[in-house]
Amino acid sequence: MTMSNQFNYINNQLHAEDVSLSDIAAVHETPCYVYSRAALTEGFREFSDALQGREHLICYAVKANANLAILNVFARLGAGFDIVSGGELQRVLAAGGDARKVVFSGVGKTRAEMRLALDAGILCFNVESAAELDRLNEVAGSMGKIAAISLRVNPDVDAKTHPYISTGLKQNKFGVAYTEAVALYRKASGLKNLRITGMDCHIGSQLTETSPFIAAIEKILLLVDELASEGIALEHLDLGGGLGICYDDETPPAIGEYIAALLGALQGRTQKLILEPGRVLVGNAGVLLTRVEYIKPGEEKNFAIVDAAMNDLMRPALYDAYHGILPVVREAHAVQSYEVVGPICETGDFIGHARELAIAPHSLLAVMSAGAYGMSMSSNYNTRPRAAEVMVDGTAVHLVRERETVPQLFSGEKTLA
């Protein structure tokens, strides 16, 4: 596990920047997501520094963490956004993001979502099928607008990641088939309400090597050249997101190393470079704070039953994903091995297996690397209100999302008359 340097022990107390997580729990209670503004900013700056001198746009992938405060931090740093729904577009706009820096990915864009995005004036639609090209052409025409498009090409490259988050193989639902891409560009060039601006490719998430990215670029560039020879020139290349982080013992390339590899493969190419990083910008900038409710010694295993559950962080249940779990206060209890589990009625409701921890009832734990695909994938299963979210900025603690209340959860429901 690699911790952001914004989460540190000071006097045996885990801190986010200058604030102890115990103090945050005392005020905001648990479960609670805690983000570090400095960690978010550092990650973004690593990207922009590495890309200096190259025309580029960093479109943060909103799905990784869509809290308005996080979007606002990135918007202030000049980020664009990669969205996959009309809802994400509305969040970006509400957070002060610039629609002209938005790219819209996703295999199932509805007409209403297309209209919303055309009205807002987004930068580009990443079109994922022939049928979507026709629909977008029709919707744009009905509004008297021209839609800027790139085709998301599926390069059929193995991202060597968890099969559920691999997107660039031909058996995956994403993008247009590599072998059909040129024909579809020809088709798009004949549709009068579309304007071809780029090519897009995103092969998967939590990649820990650069080689799949490079293999995808090499394949994409062959298509770019073929299109150029037919007089279809592209203004930008969007290489998606996908750079992984260290949750356990993975050794992903650093941001600078990843960018250097991409730029190496793009030598001699002058198109503007768009990237869509999600996890690598927010993953290690956030933790999930939770409290031990009960210690339950079992016949085979000891259970630490905590107040966070799979509805708060579903990655362990969904992907068997590993998240580091650290005591918020280093206390003098006996170290034991625990199954760290939530209160939900599912055997798959676990946060971590066999963790060596010195804890007692009421101890606080920090589930690490929880800033990406944590809150954004949370649910209300078991009628559990979603957690509060706070952002630390130096010594300041901002509540950036209130804890949900139970009445909010059923406010839209009705009993029969």
Ligand X SMILES: N[C@@H](CCCC[NH3+])C(=O)O
Give helix 181-189 / helix 211-229 axis angle, nearest 10°: 40
The type of residue at 184 is L
373 binds ligand X (CB under 6 A): yes
43 binds ligand PLP (CB under 6 A): no
Q: Are the CB atoms for 110 and 86 separated by under 8 Å? A: yes
The CA R_g of the chain, rounded to the nearest whole Å, is: 23
Q: Are the CB atoms for 356 and 337 separated by under 8 Å? A: yes
Q: Which parts are annotated binding residues for substrate? A: 279, 315, 319, 346, 373
**Largest interatomic CA distance in the chain:** 72
92 binds ligand PLP (CB under 6 A): no
Partner that binds at residue 315, options ligand PLP, ligand X, none, CB closer than 5 to 8 Å by kind: ligand X
Cβ neighbourhood burial of 136 (10 Å; 0-12, 13-18, 19+): buried
Return the structure tokens found at 252: 């992903």
242 binds ligand PLP (CB under 6 A): yes
291 binds ligand X (CB under 6 A): no
Q: Which of 79, 83, 118 is nearest to 101 (CA)?
A: 79
Partner that binds at residue 82, options ligand PLP, ligand X, none, CB closer than 5 to 8 Å by kind: ligand PLP
Judged by CB under 6 A, the stretch of 227-235, 238-246, 343-351, 396-404 that binds ligand PLP is 238-246
175 binds ligand PLP (CB under 6 A): no
Tell which positions 180-239 bind ligand X, by CB under 6 A. Answer: 205-206
Closest approach, Cβ 205 to ligand X, in A, equals 4
315 binds ligand X (CB under 6 A): yes
Tell which positions 191-210 bind ligand PLP, by CB under 6 A. Answer: 202, 205
Q: Which residues are catalytic?
A: 345
What DSSP string runs through 166-191? B--STTSSSSEEGGGHHHHHHHHHT-
277 binds ligand PLP (CB under 6 A): yes
Q: Indicate the residue among 165 and 341 with the shorter CB distance to ligand X.
A: 165
Closest approach, Cβ 254 to ligand PLP, in A, equals 15
Q: Are the CB atoms for 56 and 272 separated by under 8 Å? A: yes
Q: Interface with ligand X by CB under 6 A: which residues?
A: 63, 165, 205-206, 315, 373, 377
